[in-house]
Amino acid sequence: MSFSIERYKEESKKVDVTGIAWDDVTKHPLSKGDLFCLHYMMDIENHVPLYLSHLLVTRACMDPILTAFLACWNYEELWHGENLGRLLNLYGIEFDTQERIANVRANLGFQNSVSIFSTMAGSWLLKDFSAVYLTIGAINELTTLTAYGALIRKSGHPVLKDLLGRIIKDERRHYAFYYNSAKEWLSGNERAQKVDRWMLDRVWVPVGKGVKKQEEVDALAVYLFGDEQGEEELLEIDAQIGKLPGLAGVKLMSKALYTARERIGKNPRWGHRLIENEEWAINPPTRSPVGELTTRRTPATEEAVVP
């Protein structure tokens, strides 16, 4: 698995959706579980531009190769979210994408600002912060592409399969960048390996946690990976990340699945109820009107007036 930043800069573009049979989206059913996952995935893809604000304040971003990657990566992720939203809208689920994104962000509240500050402080205090940052990037990208593969399998929806297949190709490139960069940083660097391992065991959370609540993370994990094949796929993620220097035997995604199962063991409705009740709408927060946060006072559908 090789990666060339020069080639990536030259070839980076928005996912090509030419020829996708959008007209056939409604010809094939999606289950409530599929729809729940699609909303989750879309929200997390759409969260990337804001997540970037956490990444750019770190010591890792003194590296121009990393910032070049992030500039292209951010644009590609934007189009993943856009196209997942397009598919959902065509399937008949009505929402305004910009309003939904604004609501997701507004619900993050003050915690988002605190988190930016703690990430920044952590990165400047820890010399090997980059190792942690790059490893988490690798796990997130590998988890994302594995989850898209699982959703293709679960849904059996041909149009979704075509779209996700194209998005997966982008995610593989992202994974290659993070994995190779993490390997480079960790190779022959015992201190970085120790810091990385310590942080992964204690502060790592599955992709989307923070934007999504624990129960939502569990619902997605159990829907996509709760069967035998899914569990094997998660174990394979751990095995891949375990090949990085100093991370042999690391348990991340498998641990996330097992703890989700424990919570379901205590409360059998945990997670499932969100899917059954179709709880994928995003409501604005009660105390912070989105208009105040986005400075938008007019509906997004109104045409902009050029001064």
Q: Which listed range, 39-47, 57-65, 93-101, 177-185, lies at the site for Fe ion (CB under 5 A)?
A: 39-47
Nearer to Fe ion, 15 or 222 (CB): 15
What residues numbered 262-301 form the site for Fe ion, per CB under 5 A? none
Interface region with Fe ion, contact rule CB under 5 A, candidates 87-95, 135-143, 225-233, 247-255: 135-143
| Min separation Cβ 174 and Fe ion, Å | 4
How far apart are alpha carbons 49 and 47 in whole angstroms?
Answer: 6
Residue closer to Fe ion by CB (options 209, 263) is 209
Segment interacting with Fe ion (CB under 5 A) among 95-103, 133-141, 219-227, 255-263: 133-141
Is 174 a binding residue for Fe ion by CB under 5 A? The answer is yes
258-266 CB contacts, 8 Å cutoff, 24+ apart: 260/217, 260/218, 260/221, 260/222, 261/222, 261/226, 263/214, 263/215, 263/218, 264/218, 264/222
Least distance in angstroms from the C-beta of 143 to Fe ion: 10
Q: How far is the CB of 175 from Fe ion (least distance, A)?
A: 7
Minimum distance from CB of 101 to Fe ion (Å)?
15
If one asks whether residue 100 binds Fe ion (CB under 5 A), the answer comes out as no
**Considering CB under 5 A, how many residues would be counted as binding Fe ion?**
6
How many whole angstroms separate alpha carbon 38 and alpha carbon 110? 27
CB 117 → Fe ion: shortest distance, Å? Answer: 25
Minimum CB separation from Fe ion for residue 167, in Å?
Answer: 6
Q: ∠ at Cα 132 (128, 134), nearest 5°?
A: 110
- Whose Cβ is closer to Fe ion: residue 80's or residue 272's? 80
> Residue 172 or residue 261: which is nearer to Fe ion going by CB?
172
Angle subtended by helix axes 158-186 and 129-155, to nearest 10? 160
Radius of gyration of the chain (CA): 20
Strand partners, 212: 209
For 301, the token pair is 């559908």
Choice from 34, 43, 128, 171 touching Fe ion (CB under 5 A): 171
Helices (H), the chain: 5-11, 32-55, 64-91, 97-108, 110-125, 129-155, 158-186, 190-203, 214-225, 228-241, 253-266, 272-276, 290-294
- Phi then psi dihedrals of residue 267, to 5 deg: -140, 95
Task: Please identify, using beta-carbon distances, which residue of 77 and 233 lies nearer to Fe ion.
Answer: 77
Scanning residues 42 to 81, which ones bind Fe ion (CB under 5 A)? 45, 77, 80
In the complex with Fe ion, which residue's Cβ is closer, 164 or 222? 164
Kindly tell me the burial class for residue 174, based on how many C-beta atoms sit within 10 Å of its own C-beta (0-12, 13-18, 19 or more).
buried
**C-beta closer to Fe ion: residue 168 or 200:** 168
Measured from the CB atom, is 176 or 293 closer to Fe ion? 176
How many CB atoms neighbour CB 138 within 10 A? 23
Among 20-28, 92-100, 134-142, 196-204, the segment contacting Fe ion (CB under 5 A): 134-142
The answer to whether residues 206 and 256 touch, using CB atoms and an 8 Å cutoff, is yes
State the residues that interact with Fe ion by CB under 5 A. Answer: 45, 77, 80, 141, 171, 174
